[in-house]
Amino acid sequence: MRILLPSCENPHKQFSFYKNPSDVKENLPTISSHKVTSPETIPVALPETSVPVTLREDEGKHLTSKQRDKFNSLLKEFETCFHPGVDPTPFIEHRIQTGNNLPVSEPPYRMTPAKKELLKKELESLLAEGIIEECESPYASPVVLVPKPNGSIRLCIDYRKLNATTIPYTYPLPRMDDLLNEVKLTKFMSTIDLKAGYHQVKVYEADQEKTAFICPFGTYKFLRMPFGLRNAPATFQRLIDKFRSGLKDVFALSYLDDIIVLSENFDKHLSDLRQVFERLSLFKLTANRNKCNFACNRVKYLGHYITEQGIEVDADKVSSVQKITEPTCVKEVQSYLQTCSWFRRYVPHFSEIARPLSDLTKKNKTWTWVEPERKAFESLKRMLISPPVLSQPDGSKPFIIRTDASSYALDAVLIQGEKPEEHVIEYASRLLSSAERNYSTTEREALAVVWALEKFRGYVENQEIIIASDHQPLKWLMSIKSPSGRLARWALQIQSFHPKILYTPGKTNVVADLLSRPVHDNKEFVCNLNTISIELPSRRSRDIREEQMKDEDIKKIIDCFESGRKDEDFINWTSRGYLMNQGILYRYSPDTVSEEAQLVVPCHERERVLQQYHDSPTAGHSGSEGTYFKIASRYYFPGMRKFIAEYVKNCAECNRYKPNNQKPAGLLRTPIYAQRFETLAIDLFGPLPETPTGKKWIFLIEDTSTKWVELFALEDATAQNCAKFLIEEVFLRYGLPRRLISDNGTQFVRAVMQQTCNFLGIKQELIPVYHPQANPSERKNRDLKSKLAILVGDAHDTWDEKLAMIRFAMNTSNCDTTGQTAAYLQFGRELRTTDDVNHDLRSLIENDNFVAEITPYLKHFARLTPQIRERVEQKQDQRKKYFDKNRRPIYYQPGDKVWVTLHPKSSRSDKRSKKFYPKREGPYLVVTNRSPTTYDLSDPSTPDQVLGTYHTNMLKPYE
């Protein structure tokens, strides 16, 4: 028996030494009652390990007897590396920083008598090893006993409350797949496992009381670092990285306490291990000989087997997968997928195969276990029975990457060599996100290449790379002119790898020939004449009268006026404002929205009027109130407001393109802007498909008081361009504002914009990040989107030609908040339209049966500002009242028709913008309601065929 003396400052200090572990147990009360301050002063002798350090029978099988002897000599020379150490490593201490948080404590968990006995033995062992000691502490965490695979128990502490108050610090832990990627092929491999690695690290003395745990036998604290502490893995990995930093020309990898040493030949392996053992001795780290494997040509590391040929899957893990029965709930599916994902690097198209199972784990997904799910389950099990052996990369050979993209997943394989000698290095796959599924086929194929290069970066960076593809994304992406956004990022990412593009022969090579032709500088530009067709209504009095006489109700009124009788009917019609002019019936009411007479519209012409003032390009599909005020200033018919509201509500284009108003979080704030052009709100709209003139952005400027809007088409959304248009087109035309409101876009926070505002004395206000509702121009932005979408149709790159008409529509629409149009508040009059020019309604004041009222026009306009302010406050109060109260849910019944919300994506290559796509599609038929919020829908033409299940927030009533 060899006695290990504890270190002591006083060499004459008396110690008691114990020959057997039983002696330690008997004297435990005496030991634990001592005032122990560090493991060095624990009066106990530790026995020498009984495990032989020489090579076991399963180690070094391919070694010669001479090599085996040399190896055993090395192990005996460093035998102390496998003996339990008394001292912790001096190279690091674990800190627990809790800031100003109060100590946390919990009562002990209850235990059965059997568990108490196990706990008592474990405490005795930890006390004897100097890992814990009794203490008094304001901290207390409960104990949990966890069984080990060998039948023993592990003492664990529930440090969740302590961890919640601990300040985290970050330190990179190596990724397991990255470590496996670094493994090189060799015949000489050794793995070293540190014995209770955490317990070889001392806890900083001032923080030891924070590790205190409470149990039925009292309160104890850890002198060495326990498992379960926040930042413990980072501390230990930092120690191991310090350990590895002193190894010269040694290929060693480590993940926490698992170390692997790989060498090209036997002599180099002995030399490498000698350095490792010397570092272990220096760091006072102890290895667990039972878990170490020396001089092997096949070792298990991080759940995989490393061989001379490559990396293999652990057969034990595969067998565990084969024993799994079909899952019966989502939780079992998740467990199965987690197990299978361990081997995904060995399985080609893993994500695509597992997609039906992955879909089951999504939120609000109804449980179904039919043929697709069963097939995916069995396919994964079958492919894992004999997984392929993955080869290690050879840096002297080029890498080949083959990619594929389906509608749901990306797949890639990294290869070296040529058929039939080619070998697989790694498979990779992942599911596409919901946004990526909307990409075009070309974009998905290009994404697969970009993703594969990033996935295999550790292999292929600064290496010769060949991209093999039967699609054309790379040639298209690398040759596209002036790429922007996503395309620019992809092009730059691919260029950084300098790959060689190799196309697989096939019919699609016709496109490759076309793309590979030289581009000539002599370009022929074709100028297309873009025309706008405006249908001007007929204004001949005879035509108008003929249409009015077709309406029986209007005909009665006209006959009454033309009969010359001053009877009761005549008095009734005149009192209601009807009058005749040149044989045409009008109506005048001084308290309406217009001081002019209104043409009475016959029943069959009402829809045509709505089409002109709501559907036409210059009307821009305004809302019901805006459309009503436009029409009411010129026309009249009974029930007009209700008729217009129903027409706008049922407008198919508005329902398809206009967004729903959703209630955001927080209560509504209602600022008041009184002075004209005192406060401007600005925003950028885009990027949009590039027009023939090179425009890609819309710069929107709104006066928050009058709601006057200016729209400018920009080539580039730069701070210089925005400042230039503000100064030249707005400030020098309407004068300087006092405030300028914008979001946090880079164009608005750049020094150019800030210096412009500072120089001109304008206060720049930025809205909160990710809260666009705070920008007053946000609503105009929404209106602009829907109006553009309706006008551009399929010609998405002609949007700049529509801006003038949209600006006119916005500025001549009545604002519900102010009660006036922006044009009237800005200029004191309405902007004239074709109706006003061709038919001057003011001439009616000379009619005999028209009694003109003297309206003090200028005084009225002067009184308008305070009236508008009062109206704005009333409207905002109304909105706040309805905005802040809860909304009732919408229910649908079988047979109801609904719109379904779409989620389109832009495609720059096709010149299509998601901003111009419909927002909804329909009508669809409600078949059944699965729950109060989910419904099965079908196409009305095939009502028995269910298309899918939809949430209520995706639906809108079709009326």
What CATH number is associated with residue 69? 3.10.10.10
Q: Which tens digit of pLDDT belongs to each residue from 134-171?
A: 999 999 999 888 766 566 677 888 888 898 899 988 78
Closest CA to 687 of 747, 638, 642: 747
Q: Which tens digit of pLDDT belongs to each residue from 858-904?
A: 555 556 656 666 666 666 666 656 645 555 567 788 888 888 887 77
- Distance CA(355)–CA(407), nearest Å, equals 11
Of 365, 387, 409, the position where a domain reaches its end is 387
| Exposed/middle/buried for residue 701 (C-beta within 10 Å: 0-12, 13-18, 19+) | buried
Exposed e or buried b per residue across 251-278, where buried means at least 16 C-beta atoms within 10 angstroms of its C-beta: bbbbbbbbbbbbbeebebbbebbebbbe
Is residue 597 scored above 80 in pLDDT? Answer: no
Q: Which tens digit of pLDDT belongs to each residue from 252-310?
A: 877 777 888 888 888 888 988 998 999 888 989 998 888 888 988 877 776 677 777 66
pLDDT, the chain, mean: 74
Residue 386 confidence class, pLDDT cut points 50, 70, 90: low
Position 203 scores a pLDDT of: 94
Residue 140 half-sphere exposure toward CB, CA atoms < 13 A: 15
* Lowest mean per-residue pLDDT among 317-331, 643-657, 739-753: 317-331
Q: What's the Cα-to-Cα distance from 301 to each of 60, 181, 392, rounded to whole Å?
A: 17, 12, 15
Tokens of 60: 């070094």
Give yes or no: residues 401 and 505 share one domain.
yes
Strands 293-296 and 258-263, by their bridges, are: unpaired
Crossing angle for the helix pair 541-549 and 552-563, to the nearest 10 degrees = 110
Give yes or no: residues 256 and 108 share one domain.
yes
Q: Give a yes or no: residue 277 inside a domain.
A: yes
Give yes or no: residues 576 and 515 share one domain.
no
Kindly list the strands in the beta sheet with 304-307, ordered across the sheet, starting from the edge strand earlier in the chain.
298-301, 304-307, 311-313
Q: Which tens digit of pLDDT belongs to each residue from 804-826?
A: 888 888 888 877 767 778 888 77
- Distance CA(49)–CA(21), nearest Å, equals 13
φ, ψ for residue 67, nearest 5 deg:
-65, -35
Is residue 912 scored above 50 in pLDDT? Answer: yes
Q: Which tens digit of pLDDT belongs to each residue from 239-257?
A: 988 888 888 777 787 777 7
Give yes or no: residues 798 and 725 share one domain.
yes
Q: Give a yes or no: residue 474 inside a domain.
A: yes
Residue 133 confidence class, pLDDT cut points 50, 70, 90: very high
Q: Which residues pair with 942 in a beta bridge?
A: 939
Give yes or no: residues 375 and 397 share one domain.
no
Phi-psi region of 546 (alpha: psi -120 to 50; beta: other; left: phi over 0): alpha
* CATH number reported for the structural domain that contains residue 349 in this entry: 3.30.70.270
Of 771, 796, 812, the position where a domain reaches its end is 812
Closest CA to 445 of 416, 410, 418: 410
Of 812, 834, 857, the position where a domain reaches its end is 812
Give yes or no: residues 514 and 552 share one domain.
no
Is the CB of residue 621 less than 8 Å from the CB of residue 630? no
Segments forming the whole domain that contains residue 482: 391-519
Give yes or no: residues 296 and 226 share one domain.
yes
Give yes or no: residues 482 and 571 share one domain.
no
Q: Give a yes or no: residue 766 inside a domain.
A: yes
What is the average per-residue pLDDT within 571-587? 81
Give yes or no: residues 446 and 377 share one domain.
no
What is the average per-residue pLDDT within 20-44? 39
Q: Give a yes or no: residue 525 inside a domain.
A: no
* CATH number reported for the structural domain that contains residue 785 in this entry: 3.30.420.10
- Distance CA(115)–CA(785), nearest Å, equals 69
Q: Give a yes or no: residue 508 inside a domain.
A: yes
Kindly calculate the radius of gyration of the chain based on its CA atoms and give it in whole angstroms: 40
* 685, amino acid identity: F
Task: Say whether the peptide bond before residue 420 is cis (omega within 30 degrees of 0).
Answer: yes
End-to-end CA separation in angstroms for the chain: 94
- Distance CA(912)–CA(730), nearest Å, equals 31
φ, ψ for residue 143, nearest 5 deg:
-100, 145
Domain count, the chain: 6
* Lowest mean per-residue pLDDT among 198-212, 723-737, 861-875: 861-875
What is the average per-residue pLDDT within 833-837? 71
* Lowest mean per-residue pLDDT among 41-45, 48-52, 795-799: 41-45
Give yes or no: residues 97 and 217 share one domain.
yes
Closest CA to 426 of 391, 398, 451: 391
- Distance CA(441)–CA(469), nearest Å, equals 13
Q: Which tens digit of pLDDT belongs to each residue from 81-125?
A: 888 777 899 999 999 999 888 999 988 888 888 888 889 998 998
Position 211 scores a pLDDT of: 94
Residue 209 confidence class, pLDDT cut points 50, 70, 90: very high
Is residue 1 scored above 50 in pLDDT? Answer: no
Residue 35 confidence class, pLDDT cut points 50, 70, 90: very low
* 362, amino acid identity: K
Percentages of the chain per state (helix, strand, coil), in multiples of 5: 40, 20, 40
* CATH number reported for the structural domain that contains residue 908 in this entry: 2.30.30
| Contacts (Cβ under 8 Å, ≥6 apart) of 167 | 97, 98, 99
Position 645 scores a pLDDT of: 87
- pTM (2 d.p.): 0.39
* 189, amino acid identity: M
Position 775 scores a pLDDT of: 65
Residues of the chain with pLDDT > 70, as a percent, come to 70
* CATH number reported for the structural domain that contains residue 558 in this entry: 1.10.340.70
* 442, amino acid identity: T
* 285, amino acid identity: L
Crossing angle for the helix pair 65-77 and 266-283, to the nearest 10 degrees = 10
Residue 250 half-sphere exposure toward CB, CA atoms < 13 A: 25
Q: Which tens digit of pLDDT belongs to each residue from 460-483?
A: 766 788 887 766 555 656 555 445
Q: Give a yes or no: residue 953 inside a domain.
A: yes
Largest CA distance in the chain: 138
Is residue 379 scored above 90 in pLDDT? Answer: no
What are the DSSP calls for 484-513, one per residue? -HHHHHHHHHHHTT-PEEEEPPSTTHHHHH
Residue 664 confidence class, pLDDT cut points 50, 70, 90: very low
- Distance CA(324)–CA(359), nearest Å, equals 20
Is the CB of residue 696 less than 8 Å from the CB of residue 686? yes
DSSP single-letter state for residue 3? -
58 membership: H or E segment, kind and range: none
Give yes or no: residues 434 and 447 share one domain.
yes
Is the CB of residue 225 less than 8 Å from the CB of residue 203? yes
Is residue 852 scored above 50 in pLDDT? Answer: no
Give yes or no: residues 794 and 927 share one domain.
no
Position 201 scores a pLDDT of: 92
Q: Give a yes or no: residue 29 inside a domain.
A: no
Q: Give a yes or no: residue 884 inside a domain.
A: no
Tokens of 862: 């002067």
